[in-house]
């Protein structure tokens, strides 16, 4: 049917073309970044992106869920869709964040799964309810990352989730996953949480870690798995106020520029 000549570029030609393209890109980056040679390739790429504003990385607001967007019921937490009650202004806050160019990403510990109180299907129903209520305020969540684990073995629990993991906050695995999935510019991003576990994860990621007085109000020192609980960069009365602060600063934020120099003030 087709002779060798009709089969398009040979594998050799294709790889040569790719190699040429790669070298062209490297040349661009070498021009753009003074200390290119001393940088790890990934950091060089980030520096290039930041400098040239190509393939822009996006800022995100990482929201904790219970106690921030919806009421923290206490006890074993939210166990079904009927337990979901939005905190006033939560929908408005998420909408405002996205209107300002932030990704809105939920990162949430769901130890109820490991403890056997909620199934994964039940969890989906809870998340669907949260999305549904937020949608009533025209608010959309870009993604929900959850940790179903808990390190303790409890009778009646789901054994496969009863493990020590890296995703349960203050672990950072879910944040790292989201950052890779979405190409998030952590330097322009923030976390909003009501628990010191949220704040600890945010600090470990180098995010602005903002606390709210709703839910646990960042007073859950005795629940923190460490001798030295983290300190929120700022405290706000609720998620609406926290997002308003982020949006105000987003307006003047340029990639590579630290407009958050006020951090570590005014907390408490």
Nearest C-alpha neighbor of 137 from the set 243, 40, 17: 243
Give whichever of 48 and 236 is closer to Mg ion, judged by the CB atom.
236
Active site residue 66: yes
* Buried b / exposed e along 119-144 (16+ C-beta atoms within 10 A): eeebbeebbebbeebbeeeebebbeb
Establish if 165 lies at the interface with Zn ion (CB under 5 A). Answer: yes
State the burial class of residue 191 (Cβ atoms within 10 Å of its Cβ: 0-12, 13-18, 19+). Answer: buried
Establish if 195 lies at the interface with Mg ion (CB under 5 A). Answer: yes
Give whichever of 161 and 216 is closer to Mg ion, judged by the CB atom.
216
Q: Which of 66, 185, 233, 238 is catalytic?
A: 66
**Cα angle for residues 149, 205, 254 (degrees, 5° grid):** 140
Establish if 103 lies at the interface with Zn ion (CB under 5 A). Answer: no
* Residue 167 contact among Mg ion, Zn ion, none, beta carbon within 5 to 8 Å by kind: Zn ion
Active site residue 64: yes
* Residue 50 contact among Zn ion, Mg ion, none, beta carbon within 5 to 8 Å by kind: none
3-class DSSP assignment, residue 102: coil
Establish if 231 lies at the interface with Zn ion (CB under 5 A). Answer: no
State the burial class of residue 3 (Cβ atoms within 10 Å of its Cβ: 0-12, 13-18, 19+). Answer: exposed
Establish if 129 lies at the interface with Zn ion (CB under 5 A). Answer: no
**Which of 127-135, 161-169, 185-193, 212-220 is the region at the interface with Zn ion (rule: CB under 5 A)?**
161-169
Establish if 238 lies at the interface with Mg ion (CB under 5 A). Answer: no
Task: Count other C-beta atoms under 10 Å from residue 22's C-beta.
Answer: 10
- Which residues fall within 8 angstroms of residue 65, CB to CB, at 6 or more apart? 106, 108, 130, 144
* Residue 39 contact among Zn ion, Mg ion, none, beta carbon within 5 to 8 Å by kind: none
Q: Which of 64, 142, 233, 238 is catalytic?
A: 64
Establish if 67 lies at the interface with Mg ion (CB under 5 A). Answer: yes
Establish if 167 lies at the interface with Zn ion (CB under 5 A). Answer: yes
Residues taking part in catalysis: 64, 66
Task: Provide the binding-site residues for Zn ion, judged by CB under 5 A.
Answer: 147, 149, 165, 167-168
């Amino acid at each position: 049917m087709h002779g060798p000549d009709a089969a398009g570029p040979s594998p050799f030609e294709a790889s040569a073309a790719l190699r040429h393209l790669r070298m062209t890109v490297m040349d661009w980056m070498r021009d753009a970044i003074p200390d290119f040679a001393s940088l790890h390739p990934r950091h060089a790429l980030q520096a290039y992106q930041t400098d040239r504003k190509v393939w822009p990385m996006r800022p995100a607001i990482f929201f904790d869920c219970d106690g921030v967007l919806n009421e923290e019921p206490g006890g074993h937490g939210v166990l079904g869709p009927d337990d979901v009650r939005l905190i006033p202004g939560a929908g408005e806050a998420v909408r405002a964040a996205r209107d300002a160019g932030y990704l809105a990403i939920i990162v949430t510990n769901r130890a109820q799964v490991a403890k056997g109180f909620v199934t994964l299907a039940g969890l989906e129903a809870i998340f669907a309810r949260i999305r549904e209520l937020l949608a009533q305020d025209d608010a959309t969540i870009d993604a929900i990352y959850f940790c179903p684990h808990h390190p303790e073995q409890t009778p009646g629990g789901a054994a496969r989730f009863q493990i020590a993991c890296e995703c349960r906050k203050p672990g950072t695995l879910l944040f790292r996953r989201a950052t890779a999935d979405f190409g998030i510019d952590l330097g322009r991003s923030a976390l909003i949480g009501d628990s010191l576990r949220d704040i600890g994860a945010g600090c470990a990621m180098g995010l602005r870690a903002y606390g709210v007085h709703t839910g646990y109000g960042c007073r859950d020192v005795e629940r923190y798995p460490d001798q030295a609980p983290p300190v929120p960069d700022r405290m706000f009365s609720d998620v609406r106020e926290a997002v308003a602060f982020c949006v105000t600063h987003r307006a003047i934020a340029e990639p590579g520029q630290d407009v958050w120099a006020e951090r570590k003030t005014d907390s408490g």
